[in-house]
Chain A
Amino acid sequence: MSPSLTIILVGSCVAAACALVGTFLVLRQMALLGDAISHAVLPGIVIAFLMTGERAPLPMVLGAGALGVLTVFLVEAFHRTRRLKEDASIGVVFPALFSLGVVLITKYAGQVDLDLDCVLYGEIAYAPLDLLFFQEQSIGPKALWVNGAVLLANLLFVSLLYKELKLTTFDTGLAAALGFSPIVLHYVLMSMVSVTVVGAFESVGAILVVAMLVVPPATAYLLTDRLLVMLAGAVGCGVLSSVFGYWLAYWLDASIAGAMATVSGILFAIAFVASPRYGLLARLVRQRQLGRDMAEQLLLLHLQSGGTPQSVEQLAQRFSWRRQRLEAVIARVGNRGWVQRTNGSVAITPLGERAVEERGVAPLRHQEATA
């Protein structure tokens, strides 16, 4: 396997695994809990290191998983005492745990083979070199095995508990009533996030794993309303980020993980601006259209209830619109033959009166309101 392919594959596994659990973090408005976990697992990893003396995947997953659950528990415990708000609980818990991890690393630098910078942005570039051996035989890059396994676990987790996750995400009350414990599922989900984070930690580091957890699901959420499509879209965005991220990093001779996060950000920006339904452009167009419709209806209504033709001056004063805008509104309804303009005064035509009724503005006038 070529090194580039290995790196892209590892990146894709990380991104896909993160996207699967990240989707639920975004929908449950817990994105920052994911951020907190991704920092707080550091001491867990270090302690596992110190206890086993090597980079064994299983103890690391256990250590980090425990710290992840501890983080969630601490954040909620502080929050529940009502002495701290939720954002503050997150903001005090994860720096403390992360600091503990950093202190442990520096204290035991001899025993812990972790580079501090890589804690932040990973060392995915070395993934092809760190091979896993089975009976003295190389069976491929370790990172690929680890993250592949995590991806498989997440796939299994999401497909087995799809119904329960969906229910607890959208309707906690109903889920509880039906006998699914939202709390148990919450902790299971958080454990999966922790495990995913540990797998990704070595490859992309503590902060860029947040990009993989949050950004592709957020992008997908701007594109679809269906949960299944959102999951698939998030995975797709993640994989795209990893592929193009690798190219970008190669081109700039820069950090691969950083480039992956950058590309995911670019994909998000595209969706943010151009999503057909929830994008900024679509929204502005709709807003503008609605503004126009409203203005036209207000003008027609005013002319109709006033009865007599009104001068443009009067209208301008009445509506406090800029003159230019008023002229444009008059021109638009005039083109449709709804108003007649003569010598600077405007009157509604019979066609316009019919339009008022048909377009459903009649209820605006309380005299005709339906009972």
Chain B
Amino acid sequence: MSSVSEPQVAAESSPAEVVPAIEVHDLTVAYWTQPVLWDVDLTLPEGKLIAIVGPNGAGKSTLLRSILGLVQPITGWVEIFGKPYEKRRSWVGYVPQRESVDWDFPTSALDVVTMGLYGSLGWLRRPGKKERATALSCLDKVGIAHLAGRQISQLSGGQQQRVFLARALAQDARLYLMDEPFAGVDATTERAILALLQELRATGRTVVAVHHDLQTVAEYFDHVVLLNMRLVADGPIATTFTDENLQRTYGGRLTVLSQAAESLLRAESGAPKLDV
């Protein structure tokens, strides 16, 4: 993989004042009447690889989606480099879960990567030669430039994930939000993605990734956010990723709050119940 170019935006903020990459204030999110995130207060530093870790249903993806403004919170707000998301859109790259799209869509790997440039193109303008060249160089960075013309359903799971990463690289962002980038990829791709993340960090970028594999958290990331509806702990791996904190994240599932939420859930959900 060739190296990632220097971020163009790095010089903008004054060196005297360190602005965190992400600030989350009192964030509470509910889907209908089911609370998903409770009063999350979080400050994430720039230039680190940050993992969001927690059990299923802990609100990890919801946290990412709220940072991106895809979910409307009940309370609280999010700032990215000191400004709301709308002002920082071009600084943020997004890698959704691989399963979130239909891979049988009639489009090539290169077309998908070009989508990363749609934001900077704005309305009505169409991607041209220059955009195609940029997209191709991004595919090259993730090592699959030779597959540019391939229809996306003919790619392996790992290659599909790389296409998504390349699309995010095309956004040339300062902050990358990734939803389970390592899920369901082969070992080679996992190493390649890790190398890519490290290169991003080396050029001063910040990566926040939802991660499901506890075994590799300490090895891959600098910083961890332990989440289970509420924030359990966040900080550098060494001090935060402790057995005690993990126990509190995964062990104490049936807190009063989650019990309350679950009874609400039972009352609300569309799950059919049988009369036996």
A307 within 8 A of B: no
- Whether B30 lies near A370 (C-beta < 8 A) is no
Residue of A nearest to B245 (CB): A366
> When A166-B274, A291-B74, A363-B230 are in contact, do A298 and B26 touch as well, CB less than 8 Å?
yes
A290: chain B residues within 8 A (beta carbon)? 30, 33, 35, 264
Q: Which of B224-275 contact A (CB under 8 A)?
A: 230-233, 244, 247-248, 251-252, 255-258, 260, 264, 268, 272-275
Mask: chain A, 331-371; 1 = CB below 8 Å from B; 0 = not? 00000000000000000000000000000111110100111
Distance in angstroms from B212 CB to nearest chain A CB is: 21
Interface of chain B: mostly helix, strand, loop or mixed: mixed
Tell me, in angstroms, the Cα distance from A363 to B260 when the chains sit together: 12
State in angstroms the CA–CA spacing of A371 and B255 once bound together: 9
B178 to chain A, nearest CB (A): 25
**Distance from B117 Cβ to chain A, minimum over Cβ atoms (Å):** 29
In the complex, chain B residues whose CB is within 8 Å of the CB of A283 = 32-33
Mark each residue of chain A from 46 to 80: 1 if its CB lies under 8 Å from any CB of chain B, else 0: 00000000000000000000000000000000000
Is A187's beta carbon under 8 Å from chain B? Answer: no
A144–B217 CA distance with the chains assembled, in angstroms: 70
Chain B residues with CB under 8 A of A138: none
Contacts A371-B247, A371-B251 given; indicate if A318 touches B26 (C-beta within 8 A): yes
Contact status A294-B248, CB under 8 Å: no
B91 beta carbon closer than 8 Å to chain A: no
Provide the bound-state CA to CA distance between A301 and B30, in Å. 18
Tell me which residues across on chain B come within 8 A of A295, comparing CB atoms.
74-75
In the complex, what residues of B have CB within 8 A of residue A362's CB?
Answer: 256
Of A226, A227, A319, A369, which contacts B252 at CB under 8 A? Answer: A369
Contacts of A228 in B (CB 8 A): 275
Q: How far is the CA of A366 from the CA of B275 in the complex (A)?
A: 40
Min CB gap A331→B, angstroms: 17
- Contact check: which of B74, B231, B268 meets A294 at CB < 8 Å? B74
Inter-chain pairs besides A286-B33, A369-B248, 11 sampled, C-beta below 8 Å = A290-B264, A294-B74, A298-B39, A301-B39, A321-B75, A360-B256, A364-B230, A366-B248, A369-B252, A370-B248, A371-B248
Q: Which 3 A-B pairs have the closest CB atoms?
A: A360-B256, A363-B255, A226-B275
7 A-B interface contacts by CB (under 8 A):
A170-B274, A283-B33, A318-B26, A320-B26, A321-B75, A360-B256, A363-B256
**A residues whose Cβ falls under 8 Å from a Cβ of B:** 27, 82, 166, 170, 225-229, 283, 286-287, 290-291, 294-295, 298, 301-302, 318-321, 360-364, 366, 369-371
